[in-house]
Amino acid sequence: MPARLVVLVSGTGSTLQALLDAAADPSYGAIVAAVGADREGIDGLPRAERAGVPTFVCRLGDHVDRAAWDLALAAECARFRPDLVVSAGFMKLAGPAFLHRFGGRFVNSHPALLPSFPGVHGPRDALAHGAKVSGCTLFLVDDGVDTGPIVAQRAVDVLDDDDERSLHDRIKVAERSMLVDVVGRMMREGYRVNGRRVTIP
Ligand code: GRF
């Protein structure tokens, strides 16, 4: 039986699309069991619908507080029995209830080489700092902001004429390739976490 992924999105969903495309091949060893979002009206949701993948939307504003939203998000994800939850441009921080349920099998992809440039403006911050190399990081989500154990990274050159958009678009090419490759290996071969060190046999 293929491993089950639940992918969380908040926007365009090009990273999600790469996983949907990879999962269409049975040899990939994983399927996208569901796509969850924190908002309506984003391109990520129709991408899932076109692939015949169930979707759910869990909006913060629909809940009395963040703790209730966190519980609801965890419950929605659990309905699809994920082996791994993948944040692919999901712009909310999961809370304690979510991490209690999925910690250790919840990865996030970030468009910078952590621990450099965490937060929502990784490419912009790398440019502002004058970095010559940036890239992307796949990590296991913990209770910090982009601080969890690193699973994989890819380096991307920063070009002299880059702006935030051109750099982020180039990073996303590497990010999509990294996510498809590494998530697939994690699901087919397993992975081990020892403190901050994550290894895939
Ligand atoms: C990705 O670069 C992700 O790392 C960042 O937002 C971007 C999402 O892009 N958090 P998309 O929505 O998958 O196209």
Based on the domain organization, do 131 and 55 belong to the same domain? no
Atom of ligand 1 nearest to the CA of 17: 13
Say whether both 114 and 168 belong to one domain: yes
**Is residue 13 assigned to a domain?**
yes
Atom 8 of ligand 1, nearest CA residue: 89
Question: Which residues are the active-site residues?
Answer: 110
pLDDT tier, 156 (very low <50, low <70, confident <90, very high otherwise):
very high
What is the sign, positive or negative, of the torsion defined by CA atoms of 125, 130, 135, 139? negative
Residues 53 and 10 occupy one common structural domain: yes
Confidence of residue 142 (pLDDT cuts 50, 70, 90): very high
State pLDDT tens for residues 1-37: 999 999 999 999 999 999 999 999 999 999 999 999 9
Q: Say how many Å lie between the CA of residue 17 and the centre of ligand 1.
A: 11
Domain membership flag for residue 41: yes
Question: 14 and 87: one domain?
Answer: yes
Q: Are residues 32 and 53 in the same domain?
A: yes
User: Residue 145's domain spans which residues?
Assistant: 109-175
What would the pLDDT profile of 87-117 be if each residue is shown by its tens digit?
A: 999 999 999 999 999 999 999 999 999 999 9
pLDDT of res. 134? 98
* C-beta of 92 in contact with ligand 1 (< 6 A): no
Phi/psi of residue 173, each to 5°?
-65, -45
- The mean pLDDT value for 34-54 works out to 98
* pTM greater than the 0.95 cutoff: yes
Q: Does residue 22 lie within any of the structural domains?
A: yes
The total domain count for the chain is 2
Assigned domain for 180 exists: no
pLDDT at 97: 97
pLDDT tens, residue by residue, 181-196: 999 999 999 999 999 9
Ligand 1 atom 14: residue of nearest CA? 14
CA 115 to ligand 1 centroid distance, Å: 18
Q: Is 194 a domain residue?
A: no
Within-domain flag for 170:
yes
Give the pLDDT of residue 194: 96
> Which of 41, 24, 40 lies closest to 32 in space, CA to CA?
24
Ligand 1 in reach of 13 Cβ (< 6 A): yes
φ/ψ of 24, rounded to 5, equals -70, -20
Considering the domain architecture, whether residues 89 and 123 belong to the same structural domain is answered as no
Ligand 1 pocket residue status of 134, Cβ below 6 Å = no
Question: Rounded distance, CA 113 to CA 116, Å?
Answer: 6
